[in-house]
Amino acid sequence: MRFGVFGKVMLSISLLCGQSAFALTAGGAAPASDSLICAAASHSKSKRSGVPATAVETAPEASSNKATQPCDWTPLLMVPISTPRPFRGSDGMYNLVYEMQFTNYCAKPSKIISFEVHNGKGDLVKSYTPQGLHSRLLNLSLTKPSKGKAADGDIIPPGGTAVVWMNLEFKDKESVPRHLVHKVVIETEFAGKVRQFENANCKLAVEDKPPVVVGPPLKGGRWFASGGYAGESGHRRALFPLSNRLVNAQRYAIDWLLMTEDNHAFNGDGKQCAQFAGYGKPLIAAADGTVVGVIDRFEDQVPNDAKGDQLPFYPGGNTCVIDIGNGYYAFYAHMKPGSVKVKEGQKVKRGDVIGMLGSSGNSSAPHLHFHVMDGPYILGSRGVPYVFDTFTVNGYCDEDKAEKAIEGGGVAPIVKSKFDGKHAEELPREGMLIVFPE
């Protein structure tokens, strides 16, 4: 669900705290059902930072007598918001996609010096410099994006909260860790001095489940995959406060836009839904299941002029939710008004036509928004990784270039890629042109 044809979506929350000693912000911790494990990780020995009057404040080795250890202050707290679950993308890489929440419980600003992820054996998986975090960190204390400036993005104010969008890639399934240990080093004024503190106390279990395997939600075509799991905006960052928790149903969602044989998304001036190549195309059940919810009462939006209460309260517009078993639900959004062919409680088989592609809800061009989640609540459920059992890659185009070309009515610069050909049990990466079986 997008604000533009491929528009960016950003959530900004302002937090106000005024505690004199420590500043506390609450919320965002995922429920116990997420199987999150926060445990003490091994601490490094105290070390000097090389900065005058500054030292890294850590506890002694875990093997020493805990009764005689100094206080292990961790002014910047880390909490995982979601549980990573491995899946294979159409570029052949195995992925772990999740979010971390940072909260500065200190009365002074905390500057991030470094952030690292290790596996359960202590091997380094990924490291980030403050500059490297710029595109991955959302500082909720800012009223505007950081624009890449270190002083804006990686200094967390007293009581401030930030979200780090984690996308870890591995060359094969065997390389995916079973546990992830996160270590952040920050600098802050504490007990009369500027000091550095290391927090390596958050250990996160990787969910030991395969992705959900489904069939295609569309037929044939040349479908452009937009807003996928590896992106830095849109669905990947649609983390919203719902039902007293931070949750992202759209973490693995894709917007599907049909391209013509000459790589146009529409004919004419693009001001009418009927001018778009995908408008009215059939949507099909991706798996056997039971329809648990249908909405069919909204009109299509005028292209690039979406408005009304559909946007925040019914962002999917006309929708269908199908219980596909084992606690998973397939979600279809932006259906054409009057086209829904199923009703609540109806059994469907894979491949059954359930409705037609439209542009209702939070949409500015006809497309299908599709994702799989762990409940029927369209935004309040958690998005889970899924893969299509079969599809063909037939080209690639950078999303930003495609956006400019499509919105201007021009030809999308789609080119051949090294990933062209048949794929099985993978999730398409954004920017790829996908052909599903007829």
Residue, of 184 and 24, whose pLDDT is higher: 184
Burial of residue 368 (CB within 10 Å: 0-12, 13-18, 19+) is buried
Burial of residue 305 (CB within 10 Å: 0-12, 13-18, 19+) is exposed
Mean pLDDT of the chain: 85
pLDDT in tens, 216-228: 999 999 999 999 9
Per-residue pLDDT at 32 exceeds 90: no
Per-residue pLDDT at 291 exceeds 70: yes
Give the pTM. 0.85
Residue of 186, 190, 239, 187 whose CA lies nearest to 27: 239
pLDDT in tens, 325-378: 999 999 999 999 999 999 999 999 999 999 999 999 999 999 999 999 999 999
Structure tokens given for 315: 């962002």
Q: What is the pLDDT of residue 368?
A: 98
Confidence at 14, pLDDT banded by 50, 70, 90 = very low
Mind spelling out the 3-state secondary structure of 260-304? CCCCCCECCCCCCHHHECCCCCEEECCCCEEEEEEECCCCCCCCC
Phi, psi of 227 (to 5 degrees): 70, 45
Q: Which fold has domain 212-435?
A: Glucose Permease (Domain IIA) (2.70.70)
pLDDT in tens, 113-172: 999 999 999 999 999 998 888 889 999 887 655 454 444 568 999 999 999 999 999 999
Q: What is the pLDDT of residue 149?
A: 46
Give residue limits of the domains in the chain.
32-205, 212-435
Q: What is the pLDDT of residue 135?
A: 86
Q: What is the pLDDT of residue 381?
A: 97
Residue, of 19 and 90, whose pLDDT is higher: 90
Q: Which fold has domain 32-205?
A: Immunoglobulin-like (2.60.40)
Q: Look up residue 89 and give its DSSP letter.
A: B
Q: What is the pLDDT of residue 310?
A: 85
